[in-house]
Amino acid sequence: MSKEKLRIAVQKSGRLYEDSIKILKDAGISIDNGKEQLKASSRNFPLEVMYLRNGDIPQYLRDGVVDVAIIGENVLIEKGQDIIQAEKLGFSKCRVSMAVPKSFKYSGIKDLDGMKIATSYPNTVNEFLKEKGVSAELHIINGSVEIAPNIGLADAICDIVSSGSTLFKNGLKEVEVMLKSEAVIAISPKISPERESILQKLQFRIKSVLNART
């Protein structure tokens, strides 16, 4: 038998981690080590799991350093439009939305013309604003974006909204949904034919799990 293994990237920390491991487990794939080791092998399937930072995964796929990933669609839209997207996995559902302070009398996107917007999703925001013919000044921050209006850094924010609790706790209201997202399988454009055939087996198992879940 071939020693070839498929390399899959999974989010190291964050909301996708647990459900990503669970779907692999439900597909009958056991992974030995915890994520502290950053790279783990399966005992019963030709798979190597690499635990990576969300935002780094598109580049690893592009370079062919990993063959496949479980990742949020929102990250692919922001950083990996060139990467092949396969199955939607039905978990980690969220939206990428624009929000403003509750006191802001918002009547439409034109209200943000000339304003400052803090976000971790500059490409998504720029595309959205361009389409709407609105120009704004973007401040790129990587986390805790919702604090920006309260410290005077921005007039509005654009970030992931799931339960809405972070917006609520920071006195913000959601005013535009830019996109909806969930976890998906993403495939490297550089995957080899050998690994592609392992991937087909993995996808077959994952599809069976998804069918059983509905």
Least spacing, CB of residue 30 vs ligand PRP, in Å: 28
Of residues 92-151, which lie at the interface with ligand PRP (CB under 6 A)? 143-144, 146
Least distance between ligand PRP and beta carbon 194 (Å): 36
Supply the minimum distance, in Å, between the C-beta of residue 167 and ligand PRP.
Answer: 6
Tell me how far CA of residue 210 lies from CA of 26, 44, 45, 190, in angstroms.
Answer: 10, 20, 19, 26
Nearer to ligand PRP, 67 or 159 (CB): 159
Judged by CB under 6 A, the residue of 30, 162, 200, 208 near ligand PRP is 162
Q: CB 54 → ligand PRP: shortest distance, Å?
A: 9
Residues binding ligand PRP: number (CB under 6 A):
12
73 counts as binding ligand PRP under rule CB under 6 A: no
| Contact assessment for residue 193 and residue 125, using Cβ atoms and an 8 Å cutoff | no
Give CA separation, 86 vs 20, 188, 209, in Å. Answer: 15, 11, 15
Q: For 42, which DSSP code?
A: B
CA angle 95, 211, 192 (to 5 degrees): 80
Q: Give me the torsion for CA of 201, 207, 213, 214, rounded to 10°.
A: -160
Phi, psi of 49 (to 5 degrees): -105, 130
152 binds ligand PRP (CB under 6 A): no
Write the CA distances from 75 to 20, 58, 172, integer angstroms.
Answer: 15, 8, 23
Contact status: 183 vs ligand PRP (CB under 6 A): no
Stretch that binds ligand PRP, among 37-45, 85-93, 104-112, 156-164 (CB under 6 A): 156-164
Nearest residue to ligand PRP, by Cβ distance, number only = 143
**Using rule CB under 6 A, residue 67 touches ligand PRP:** no
Least gap, CB of 99 to ligand PRP (angstroms): 10
CB of 169 to ligand PRP, least distance (A): 8
Question: Applying CB under 6 A, which of residues 117, 160, 184, 198 lies at the interface with ligand PRP?
Answer: 160
List C-alpha distances in Å: 44 to 24, 27, 39, 113: 12, 11, 16, 55
| Residues binding ligand PRP (CB under 6 A) | 14, 143-144, 146, 159-166
